[in-house]
Amino acid sequence: MPEPLLLERQDAVAIISINDAPYNRMSLEFIDRLEVIVDELAGDHSVRAVVLTGEGQDNFSVGMNLKQLPAGIERMGSPDALFDQRLRVINAIETMGKPWIATLFGFCLGGGLEVPLGCHFRLAAAENAQIGLPEMDLGTVPAWGGSARLSKCVGRNHALDMILRGKKISGPEALRIGLANEVWPLAELKDRAIALAHELAAQPALAVSSMLALILGSQDRPLEELLQAEREAVKATMGTADSKEGIMAFLEKRRPVFNQ
Integer Cα distance of 155 and 61 in angstroms: 24
Q: Does the structure show a pLDDT above 80 at 217?
A: no
- Higher pLDDT: 245 or 198? It is 198
Exactly one of 3, 135, 199, 224 is catalytic; name it: 135
Domain chopping of the chain, boundaries: 5-201, 205-252
What number is the average pLDDT over the span 157-166?
95
Integer Cα distance of 56 and 63 in angstroms: 16
- Higher pLDDT: 84 or 223? It is 84
pLDDT score recorded for residue 140 = 86
Reference 144, options 228, 223, 227, 63; nearest CA is 63
H/E run at residue 10: strand 5-10
Integer Cα distance of 128 and 198 in angstroms: 26
Integer Cα distance of 64 and 30 in angstroms: 9
Give the model confidence (pLDDT) of 139-152 as tens digits.
889 989 999 999 99
The answer to whether 260 touches 45, Cβ cutoff 8 Å, is: no
Whole-structure pTM value = 0.91
Q: Is 230 labeled as catalytic in the residue annotation?
A: no
Give the model confidence (pLDDT) of 33-54 as tens digits.
999 999 999 999 999 999 999 9
pLDDT score recorded for residue 223 = 67
Exactly one of 29, 114, 230, 252 is catalytic; name it: 114
Q: Can you name the CATH fold of 5-201?
A: 2-enoyl-CoA Hydratase; Chain A, domain 1 (3.90.226)
Q: Does the structure show a pLDDT above 80 at 235?
A: no
Give the model confidence (pLDDT) of 150-161 as tens digits.
999 999 999 999
Q: Is 224 labeled as catalytic in the residue annotation?
A: no
